[in-house]
Amino acid sequence: MSAPIPPGSPEPPQRRPGGTPDHDTLRGLLGAWALDACPAEEAAQVQQHLAGCPGCAEEAGRLRHAAGWLSADEPLDPAPILRTQVLARALARRAPEVRVPEYAGAFVAETARLDALLRDLGELDWLERAELPWHGGSEHWRPAEVLCHLTAVDGVVSRALGLPDPVPSPDGGIDLVERTARLMAQQRRRGPETVRAFWREQTRALVETAALVDAAGQPSAAADLPVDYGAFQLPLRDAFVDRAFECWIHAEDIAEAVGWPYGPPRGAHIRAMVELATRLLPYALTTLRMAGPGSPTARQGQGAVKLIIEGRGESEWLVPLEIPAPDAPPLRADTEPVATVAIDGVEFCFLCAAHRDPDRTPHGIIGDRNAARDLLHAARLLSRP
C-alpha cells in the first residue's frame, strides 16, 4: 500500500555524504528486509551492509528464518505469536506510511486467519458442506460457497467506500440473501482457489481504502460512513467489526466441517464484538417482544440488565431493555440493573450467532430471571442468513 507521507511521519533515512544510509538506519530496516517489504534500492543497501557487518548479519539471519515460517505457501501453521513478533519488530524500527485503522483491526486479523485455514484445505475438503446455523434455520454450503456469502455481504462495505460492488443490483436495492445467491451462481463454474482469491482481494481493498481515506487527514471521514445493509445501517467502524465477527463464525463452521481445530479471536477483538452486540440487543429485545415469547418484564421494557463477560474479552456492559431515545444519554455506570448475567465471552458470541442454545449455554443469573432469559434469547436474533 502506498500513499503520500502524511504530516508527522518519520523523517527519511539519514544518509552519509556519499548517499548510503548509516549503520543505525540500515539496522532499523532489517525487520522490513526479512519480510521482503523494502523497496529494491533499500534492499540492495541492506544486503551490501550485511556483507561487512557480522552483528547485523546474525540478526538478519534470525529474522529471515522467522519470516520464512510466514510464507503464504507454507502448509504448516506457525505459532500465532511468531508473526506478531516479527511484524512488531519491523514496525518498531520503521513506522508504516499508512496505518490500518484501529476499527479494522479485528477484520484484518479474522480474514487473515480464515485465509490461513483455506490455504491448507485439500481437494476433498473443498467438497465438504459446512452447516451455518442462524436463528431462522441453517444453510449447508461448501467452503467456496461460504466465501461467496462473505464476499456478497462484504460488498455492501465496498459500496460505502466507493469500491466496485461484486454483486451490483440493477435497481440499487440490497437484499443480502439475494446477493449471496447471485454471487454463488456467478462463481459456480470457478475453482475454489479462484473464489478464494476473489474474496481475499476484496478484503484487502476494503482495509486499504479505509486506511487511505483516514490518512488523507479527514476527521472520521471513513469511520462514520454509513454502510447500508438493506434492513439497517451501521457506521463503517461497526460494519468492520460485524464483518470480522461473521468471518470468524463461518471460519469455525468450515473448520468443523473438515475436522480441523480453530481458535477464537484475540480478547480485544472479542470485546469489540460484544460491545457492538450490546448496542444492538435493545433492538433484538424489541423484536422478541413483538414475536410474543418475551416475558412480562421484557414487554414492559423497563430498566437494564448488566452483562458480565468472563474469560476472553472480559468486560461489563449495561444493556437497556428498550431502545434508547436518539437524544438519550448513555446509562450511568451506577445504574441499578434489574438482573445480572455472567457468561463466557466466546460462548456469548456463539450465542449471538445462533450457534448455541440460550437455555443450555453455561451462565449465571442474579435478579430478575425473566429479564435475563429474554436477553439471552434476544441475542440469537442478532444472527442472520
d(CA 67, CA 346): 31
Q: How many domains does the chain have?
A: 3
What pLDDT was estimated at residue 67?
65
Q: What is the largest CA-CA distance in the chain?
A: 81
C-alpha cell at 231: 434492513
d(CA 42, CA 24): 14
Kindly report, residue by residue over 331-343, the tens digit of the pLDDT. 888 889 999 999 9
d(CA 364, CA 60): 52
Pairing verdict, β 304-310 and 339-344: parallel
Which one of 93, 127, 144 terminates a domain? 93
Domain contains 211: yes
In this structure, are 302 and 182 located in the same domain?
no
d(CA 109, CA 243): 11
Could you tell me where the beta strands, DSSP code E, fall in the chain? 130-134, 137-141, 226-228, 233-235, 304-310, 315-320, 339-344, 363-367
In this structure, are 140 and 213 located in the same domain?
yes
Phi, psi angles (nearest 5°) of residue 258: -95, 0
The label of the residue with cell 511484524 reads 87
Domain contains 18: no
Which one of 93, 111, 131 terminates a domain? 93
Pairing verdict, β 304-310 and 315-320: antiparallel
The yes-or-no verdict on residue 320 having pLDDT over 80 is: yes
- Domain span at 295: 271-380
Are residues 44 and 21 in contact, defined by beta-carbon separation less than 8 angstroms? Answer: no
In this structure, are 255 and 108 located in the same domain?
yes
The yes-or-no verdict on residue 364 having pLDDT over 90 is: yes
In this structure, are 213 and 114 located in the same domain?
yes
Kindly report, residue by residue over 118-165, the tens digit of the pLDDT. 999 999 999 999 999 999 999 999 999 999 999 999 999 999 999 999
Domain contains 17: no
What one-character DSSP code corresponds to residue 221?
Answer: T
d(CA 225, CA 236): 5
**CATH number where 326 lies:** 3.30.1050.10
Phi, psi angles (nearest 5°) of residue 319: -110, 115
Kindly report, residue by residue over 46-100, the tens digit of the pLDDT. 888 888 888 888 888 887 777 655 544 444 455 555 656 665 676 566 665 668 8
d(CA 132, CA 141): 8
Kindly report, residue by residue over 171-204, the tens digit of the pLDDT. 778 899 999 999 999 999 999 999 999 999 999 9
Q: Which residues partner with 366 through β-bridges?
A: 340
